[in-house]
């Protein structure tokens, strides 16, 4: 991602102070673009202009930060007693546990709340109450460079052994990143969970109890360390230093043989003329039975007391035309059933259909656990150590498990 893109000027409206009855909503949003030209700032410009044209008594001030910064910025604002009215972030449940958020049913009209994809709506709940409103969704598949695979005489991998063998062949052909393993702080929790699922594990068990140091997870990261990283098959940047955005950019530059990717990688690759294929994530003994589903969340803070205006604005944001516009701009999956149905039958969206089909079968982060924000932050910080030279996967996973247990107890 580019450095923080901050929009401090008022978007539309009637001036800085406005009339005595005017309400200003403050929204902090994450940037889904990778350049100034496609920054999410432009999406919010369009949304706010359209909304304010119909609501002259409400102004919406939007600040956009990169994904590297947005969660931290929101936490700093909340800790300083300056919570925004709305925040579009990666985790919400710790705020809900502190009674800082409005319930979704206190804000949204019944048709809008009922339209969320059921799996995403359920993931937005804390103890059966929805506080997190899904804003964007994606699933993951394995992308591979068709040209590099053809040059090495390869077919797409179905298992870990296939993947390792393909990486060896790609390395022999001089490919810079045979397999790109982004365990850097931007989105390490995603790459980690994708690998844990492919090894039959995950962050939690069926009851929601953290199992980060399970035998399956230790085996998975031991395999990664020994069979990919230790054999120099993951490129010149240490996995713990490689961010997802950099890995995607390298794939679009033709320097990556394989990596786990979400839908927005398609447009990046096509823009640079990279021919790519997509297959289900390889698992320990064949195609992984589970795939990662990811949702980003809209949360509404109570502090400023703008419940009515927040709800009205969100009803506008979650209209089909807005949801489809955002999804199509950034090659992400709609979070509402009606927009998903529209996308699944639209010719212009046919490349996204494989991702849409996986969404209802995917597993999401344990975002409803109020400890998840703490656990996710620690995974981003530490997981790269598990595969580093001299690192010990078991020790790192045990320490992460201890962090999760402490955070869970505190919550």
Output the pLDDT for position 87.
98
What's the pLDDT tens digit per position in 67-113? 889 999 999 999 999 999 999 998 898 899 899 999 999 999 999 99
Q: Average pLDDT in the 251-259 region?
A: 98
Q: What is the pLDDT of residue 2?
A: 35
Domain positions in the chain: 23-138+294-364, 139-293+368-410
| Length of the chain as a residue count | 411
Q: Domain 23-138+294-364 adopts which CATH fold?
A: D-Maltodextrin-Binding Protein; domain 2 (3.40.190)
pLDDT at 3: 34
- Tokens representing residue 396 in the block: 């790192």
**139-293+368-410 has the same fold as 23-138+294-364:** yes
Distance from C-alpha of 115 to C-alpha of 319, rounded to nearest angstrom: 10
Closest Cα to residue 198, out of 258, 285, 279, 278? 285
Homologous superfamily of 139-293+368-410 = Periplasmic binding protein-like II (3.40.190.10)
Over residues 205-232, mean pLDDT: 96
Q: Using the predicted structure, report yes or no on whether residue 54 has a pLDDT greater than 70.
A: yes
Output the average pLDDT for the chain.
Answer: 91
**CB-CB contact of 330 with 268 (8 Å):** no
For 261-292, the pLDDT digits (tens) are 988 899 899 999 999 999 989 999 998 888 89
pLDDT, tens digit (0-9, with 9 covering 90-100), for 297-317: 999 999 999 999 999 999 999
pLDDT of residue 373: 83
* Better-scored residue on pLDDT, 68 or 405: 405
- CA–CA gap between residue 59 and residue 17 (Å, rounded): 10
């Amino acid at each position: 991602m580019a450095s923080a893109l901050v929009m401090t000027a008022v978007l539309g409206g009637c001036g800085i102070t406005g009339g005595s009855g005017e309400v200003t909503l403050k929204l902090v949003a994450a940037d889904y673009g990778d350049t100034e030209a496609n920054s999410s700032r432009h999406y919010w410009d369009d949304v706010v202009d359209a909304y304010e044209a119909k609501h002259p008594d409400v102004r919406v001030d939007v600040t956009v930060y990169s994904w590297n910064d947005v969660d931290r910025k929101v936490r700093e604002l909340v800790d300083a007693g300056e919570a925004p009215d709305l925040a579009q972030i990666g985790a919400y449940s710790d705020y809900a546990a502190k009674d800082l958020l409005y319930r979704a049913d206190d804000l949204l009209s019944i048709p809008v709340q009922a339209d969320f994809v059921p799996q995403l709506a359920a993931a937005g709940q804390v103890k059966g109450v929805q506080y997190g409103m899904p804003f964007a969704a994606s699933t993951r598949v394995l992308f591979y460079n068709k040209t590099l695979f053809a040059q090495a005489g390869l077919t797409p991998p179905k298992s870990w052994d296939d993947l390792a063998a393909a990486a060896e062949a790609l390395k022999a052909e001089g490919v810079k990143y045979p397999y790109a393993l982004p365990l850097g702080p931007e989105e390490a929790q995603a790459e980690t969970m994708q690998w844990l699922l492919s090894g039959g594990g995950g962050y939690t068990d069926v009851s929601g109890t953290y199992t980060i140091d399970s035998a399956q997870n230790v085996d998975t990261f031991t395999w990664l360390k020994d069979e990919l990283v230790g054999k120099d098959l993951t490129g010149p940047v240490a996995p713990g230093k490689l961010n997802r955005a950099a890995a995607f950019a390298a794939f679009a530059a033709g320097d990556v043989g394989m990596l786990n990717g979400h839908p927005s990688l398609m447009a990046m690759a096509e823009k640079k003329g990279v021919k790519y294929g997509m297959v289900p994530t390889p698992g320990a003994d064949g195609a992984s039975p589970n795939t990662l589903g990811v949702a980003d969340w809209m949360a509404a803070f109570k502090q400023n007391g703008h419940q009515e205006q927040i709800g009205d604005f969100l009803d506008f944001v979650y209209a089909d035309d807005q949801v489809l516009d955002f999804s199509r701009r950034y090659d992400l999956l709609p979070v509402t059933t009606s927009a998903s149905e529209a996308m699944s039958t639209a010719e212009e969206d046919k490349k996204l259909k494989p991702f849409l089909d996986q969404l209802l079968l995917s597993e999401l982060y344990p975002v409803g656990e109020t400890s998840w924000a703490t656990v996710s932050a620690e995974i981003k910080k530490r997981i790269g150590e598990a595969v580093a030279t001299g690192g010990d996967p078991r020790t790192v996973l045990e320490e992460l498990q201890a962090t999760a247990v402490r955070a869970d107890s505190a919550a």
